[in-house]
A and B are shown apart, each in its own frame.
Chain A
Amino acid sequence: MKLTLEKQFQLNLKKNKLKFSVTVTLKKDVLDPQGKVVQNTLVNMGMNNLKNIRQGKHFEIEVDENDIKIAQKKIDEMCKKLLVNLIIEDYKINKI
């Protein structure tokens, strides 16, 4: 049986662990040549209504913590200290 996100979340809480996803993308002003190539290829394949593609990175992070706020703070610190280059990248943290 497939667990709903909410149930999975409750289950994780019991296990004293929280899971987050972090999405890292290049800032708007930074050239993203990979995204451009993917975009051009899709257009060449006939996807004509395609407007823009930006390629990014995705992390799934589990922390041994049951306080969401503390966990979120930890993830934010991880982003700032290593996962993200703040000069060129933006990031979003989501609970999963």
Chain B
Amino acid sequence: MKSSVIVFPGSNCDRDIAVALEKMQFKNKMVWHKETSLPKSDLIVIPGGFSYGDYLRSGAIAGKSLIIDEVIKAANSGCLVLGICNGFQILTETGLLKGTLLRNKNLKFINKNVNIKVINNDTKFSNKFKKDEILKINIAHNEGNYFTDKNHLEELNKENLVAFKYCDEKGNINEEANPNGSLENIAGIFSQRKNILGMMPHPERMVDEIISNRDGINLFSSLLN
């Protein structure tokens, strides 16, 4: 499977995701944001970081960069797109995913491992997970508080477009397990066609037992499946 990782000034998880993809046998290419064409890819990844120093709004400037037009075209023709952390913020700024990421409710940058629950395991991104499986994944963000309008929230629930929700160790989805104030504990969502996934937690940091755990592996093996 061929993948492309888009690199912006200020991206800082681009190497991590590349290492994770290569470990999982993806043939990966790094693509600078000023490029005007994408290499042939089955998967496009928008990595985490602080593109353009989070100026204006997180992801706002990167969302208007040259390569993004190509990403939008590819996504609209069905290519798989994964946005992690700042990548999720960028995808909402481009309009490929609806809603937005507000400042964390407690106004603090949060960097810790949290539990998330797999809500929909019937997609290209999640078919190797069990339904309701609980994963321990790292989050590291200042704007991860997912917000959207009532109609879209209804659509997310009705059409099973919520990918992950923050939960406690036992899988309870409640306010105490919500690190950033996200609407209904949402940690990641799919686009309507389910070919785009945006998520705040970092699965690429969880692919090696030595440095963390392997809870993120199944996201990549789902894609290969």
Using a CB–CB distance below 8 Å, which chain A residues touch chain B?
Answer: 30-31, 33-34, 37, 81-83, 85, 87-88
Which of B3-11, B96-104, B184-192 faces chain A?
B96-104
CA A33 – CA B103 in complex, angstroms?
Answer: 8
A34-B102 in contact (CB<8A): no
> What are 8 A-B residue pairs whose CB atoms fall within 8 Å in the complex?
A30-B102, A33-B107, A82-B56, A85-B93, A85-B100, A88-B100, A88-B102, A88-B147
With A83-B56, A85-B57, A88-B100 as known contacts, state yes or no: A33 contacts B147, CB within 8 Å.
Answer: no
Contact partners of A30 in chain B: CB under 8 A: 102, 147
Measured CB to CB, the closest approach of chain B to A51, in angstroms, equals 21
Task: Verify A82–B64 contact, CB threshold 8 A.
Answer: yes
User: Is the C-beta of B40 less than 8 angstroms from some C-beta in chain A?
Assistant: no
Q: How large is the interface on B (under 10, 10 to 19, 20 to 34, 35 or more residues)?
A: 10 to 19
Q: Which of chain B's residues have a CB closer than 8 A to the CB of A82?
A: 56, 60, 64
Using CB atoms, name the residue of chain A closest to B150.
A29
Chain A, residue nearest B103 (CB): A33
Q: Which residue of A lies closest to B149 (CB)?
A: A87
Contact of A85 among B60, B103, B105, B149 (CB under 8 A): B60
With CB as the reference atom, state the residue of chain B lying closest to A59. B56
A83 to B102, CA, bound (A): 16
**Residue B123 is within 8 A (CB to CB) of chain A in the complex:** no
Given contacts A82-B64, A87-B149, contact A31 B105 (CB under 8 A): yes
Residues of B within 8 A of A85 (CB): 57, 60, 93, 100
- Residue pair B103, A34 in contact (C-beta under 8 Å): yes
- CB-CB under 8 A from A88, the residues of chain B are 100, 102, 147
Interface residue B144 (Cβ < 8 Å from any Cβ of A): no
